[in-house]
Structure 1
Amino acid sequence: MFRQISHHLEDRNLLRIVWRFNPDSPIQDFNLCTVTYGTASAPWLANRVIKDLAQSHAESHPDASTILSKRV
């Protein structure tokens, strides 16, 4: 589930990993594009996305929106 939630493009530079595979290799930058499972904010972000989707689609899916809004 967490890998399906993308970070905004402008936030990806803030979520950078600087890595080298061994002391002789060049340093490489990796940007995180999706929410990483195991970080402290991951469960909150997942719940926030579900609530936002429930609110955004309330007119087209009122029953699902009500259930998700109350139970998540």
Structure 2
Amino acid sequence: MNGQNRKDIKIGALVDIVLKKDQRTGKLTRGHVKKILTNSQFHPHGIKVMLEEEDQVGRVQIIAE
């Protein structure tokens, strides 16, 4: 599942995000969602979240299940 719909993302879910510094390379970082930062229900580049691990912030690319 991609991370464009807010309703698909839950607190504690395992996700792959792209950090701001990695947007050019597309390198993904895996972690658990601590906080959902995007208020809108849909975002074409992915919903922005904060991970529990080191409070990293990025846009969800993949929701791991």
TM-score of the alignment, normalized to the shorter chain, above 0.5: no
Q: TM-score, normalised by structure 2?
A: 0.22
Which one has a larger percent helix, Structure 1 or Structure 2?
1
Structure with greater contact order relative to length (CA < 8 Å, sep ≥ 6): 2
